[in-house]
Amino acid sequence: MNIKEVYAEEISKQFQDVLTYDEVLKLIEKPKFREQGDLAFPCFTLAKQYRKAPAVIAEEIATSIQGSLFEKVVATGPYVNCFLNKNEISKDILQSILTEGTNYGSHHFGEDAAITIDFSSPNIAKPFSMGHLRSTVIGNSLANIVKKCGYQPIRINHLGDWGTQFGKLIVAYKLWGNELDVKTNPIKELLQLYVRFHSEVETKPELEEEARLWFKKLEDGNEEAIALWRWFREESLQEFSRIYSLLHVDFVSFHGEAFYNDKMDATVDMLKGKNLLTKSDGAEVVDLSHENLPPCLIKKSDGATLYATRDVTAAIYRQENYHFKKAIYVVGHEQSLHFKQIFLVLEKMGYVWGKDMVHVPFGFILKDGKRMSTRKGKIVLLEEVIKEAIKLAKQNIELKNPSLANKEEIAEMVGVGAIIFHDLKNERLNNIEFSLEEMLTFEGTTGPYVQYTHARACSILRKATVTDTSPIGLSDSYSWSVVKLLMEFPAIIKRSMQLYEPSVIAKYIMELAQEFNKYYSHVKVLHEDVEMNDRVALVRSVTIVLKEGLRLLGIKAPEEM
């Protein structure tokens, strides 16, 4: 049940000739003060049509709206404010949540269609840094959200496992590398070699040409180059899999850039066949000037392919193999132009599904106000941050609940949850300043606060002796604040899907946790009276929604902390 929709329907019945149901729904808002009601409809839009004062129209509407879900409907100046029937609605909402369990908030508009989600995509032979966190946790959450809306997510990790950086790395390894050191601590050693190459090239520019030649050897299938490349790739994947395991993130496909090497000629031939390629300074491009965009570079003058060639090829491969209804790319906002070009090229090739491709951009994680750089070695390793977070979580548990069982497991849930929530509570386009201290604060607007609220609610349920929790309805103001939020959960899921914005859910569960804690501090849940069953039903409903909200963000919900 969505009361906002019910209210919109009642109002739109009277003004079908002027405002559609959707227009009415968009206008409905929450009153500024709780005493003014639960929902408000402003009449300014109607005033012009009916040539009446908004306050007069509000009076006319207020007297005509009826129904068991409304306690009363009143005109407050130019607004039509409704007070909802607390007993009736709380009974229905709590019953729905208890009956549906974790399915509460689900939608079916996805109709089981596939959505490919391209996310995380780190470069091999480089450490998994904090810079990779955003794409990973946003993409993972979006995969959970689209599934909740009835789609089938196809999780794709488009690894950066090709390109000129491997020529640089091979040169660095051959000049300064030690096989035993690399085998002992592969990623750390490879990073040092990569950083050293960029330091040395400043005084020895000829290294750049040597790196280019080694990458050409790699492209031509040189045995030594291929062997080193495979070694770097395997070592990287082992490191990545350990981190993905800590974050509880998985993928259907790890096909990276190299996978498309033997498929790009077909793409280039297709572009030629459709007369879409033109020459520009020796390079081959798709002209996008009619769309006010720079040309999309498909082949360099030396015949080398580019990111665009690979991404067009990958999109065609994914459509042929997964038959996606929509394709989502969770990649930083600096790639916005690139994806506009890719999607347009696909449409020009005649692929109508090019219109169903979406770039979901996000801001940077900054350190001291600056973007992290692998070349300069200015990075923070994600695994180190995760380990530090888990260590701090364990210290807090030892301090506050030393007799807790499964300390290690719960410390991991809390530490990892702190990192993920710190990212996802921010709107994705915002930049985030890296701060271990802020990320690991276990009070305030943090993941551990929401997790602790869930654990506290579970503790109440363990003490409850109630067997029948069929609700009959609550009417006090503290429970009503919680019920109204619980009622919003399905709409929150839908909104987060429409905006590709996990922060909508993160902010919602934070607000629910805060309202529940207010409720808990004012109401004796287990006081034996006629409403105890309903209060227990409310607590159980809160645990269901908090746990599901956290799950959608990729965070575990401990029952004890």
Distance between CA atoms of 309 and 301, rounded to whole angstroms? 14
Q: What's the whole-number mean pLDDT along residues 226-249? A: 92
Distance between CA atoms of 241 and 342, rounded to whole angstroms? 30
Are 68 and 88 in contact, with CB atoms under 8 Å apart? yes
| Helix/strand/coil percentages in the chain, nearest 5 | 60, 10, 30
- Residue 264 above 60 pLDDT? yes
- Residue 73 above 70 pLDDT? yes
Amino acid at 500: Y
Write out the two tokens for 314: 């990958």
282 CB-near residues (< 8 Å, 6+ apart): 301
* 473 pLDDT tier (thresholds 50, 70, 90): confident
Write out the two tokens for 530: 């006629």
Q: What Rg do the C-alpha atoms of the chain give, in angstroms?
A: 28
* 298 pLDDT tier (thresholds 50, 70, 90): very high
* 130 pLDDT tier (thresholds 50, 70, 90): confident
> Could you give the angle at the alpha carbon of 361 between the alpha carbons of 356 and 363, nearest 5°?
175
- Which residue did the predictor score with more confidence, 48 or 244? 244
Closest by alpha carbon to 121, among 140, 142, 136?
136
Q: Say what the pLDDT of residue 468 is.
A: 64
Closest by alpha carbon to 249, among 396, 149, 354, 137?
137
Q: What's the whole-number mean pLDDT along residues 399-425? A: 94
- Residue 157 above 80 pLDDT? yes
- Residue 550 above 70 pLDDT? yes
Percent of the chain with pLDDT over 90: 76
Which residues on neighbouring strands pair with residue 155, listed in sequence order? 117
Distance between CA atoms of 370 and 434, rounded to whole angstroms? 10
Percent of the chain with pLDDT over 70: 98
Residues of the chain within CATH 3.30.1360.70 domain(s) are 3-84
- Which residue did the predictor score with more confidence, 68 or 451? 451
Domain 382-553 top-level CATH class: mainly alpha
DSSP state of 52: S
Alpha helix ranges (H) inside 291-440: 307-322, 336-348, 382-400, 407-424, 436-439
Are 442 and 448 in contact, with CB atoms under 8 Å apart? yes
Category of 483 on φ-ψ map: left (φ > 0), alpha (ψ -120 to 50) or beta: alpha
Residues of the chain within CATH 1.10.730.10 domain(s) are 382-553
pLDDT tens column, 2-12: 788 889 999 98
Write out the two tokens for 246: 């800590």
Residue 390, φ and ψ in degrees, nearest 5: -65, -40
pLDDT tens column, 183-232: 888 888 998 999 999 999 999 999 999 999 999 899 889 999 999 999 99
Q: Say what the pLDDT of residue 373 is.
A: 62
Instruction: Tell me the average pLDDT of the chain.
Output: 92
Q: Any idea which residue has 């969505």 for tokens? A: 2
Span of 197-201, 423-427, 473-477, 504-508 with lowest mean pLDDT: 473-477
Q: What's the whole-number mean pLDDT along residues 468-480? A: 85
Q: What's the whole-number mean pLDDT along residues 104-133? A: 92
Q: What's the whole-number mean pLDDT along residues 537-560? A: 97
- The CB density around residue 438, as the number of other CB atoms within 10 Å, is 13
Q: Say what the pLDDT of residue 85 is.
A: 94
pLDDT tens column, 365-393: 887 777 766 556 566 778 888 999 999 99
Element (H, E) at 82: strand 79-84
> Domain 3-84 adopts which CATH fold?
Gyrase A; domain 2 (3.30.1360)
Long-range CB contacts for residues 33-36, cutoff 8 Å, separation at least 24: 34/477, 36/76, 36/79, 36/81
Q: Say what the pLDDT of residue 469 is.
A: 64
* 114 pLDDT tier (thresholds 50, 70, 90): very high
Q: What's the whole-number mean pLDDT along residues 511-536? A: 94
Distance between CA atoms of 543 and 454, rounded to whole angstroms? 6
Distance between CA atoms of 16 and 18, rounded to whole angstroms? 5
pTM > 0.75:
yes
Q: Say what the pLDDT of residue 502 is.
A: 98
Closest by alpha carbon to 387, among 128, 5, 37, 209?
128
Span of 135-144, 264-273, 324-333, 467-476 with lowest mean pLDDT: 467-476
Distance between CA atoms of 356 and 324, rounded to whole angstroms? 9
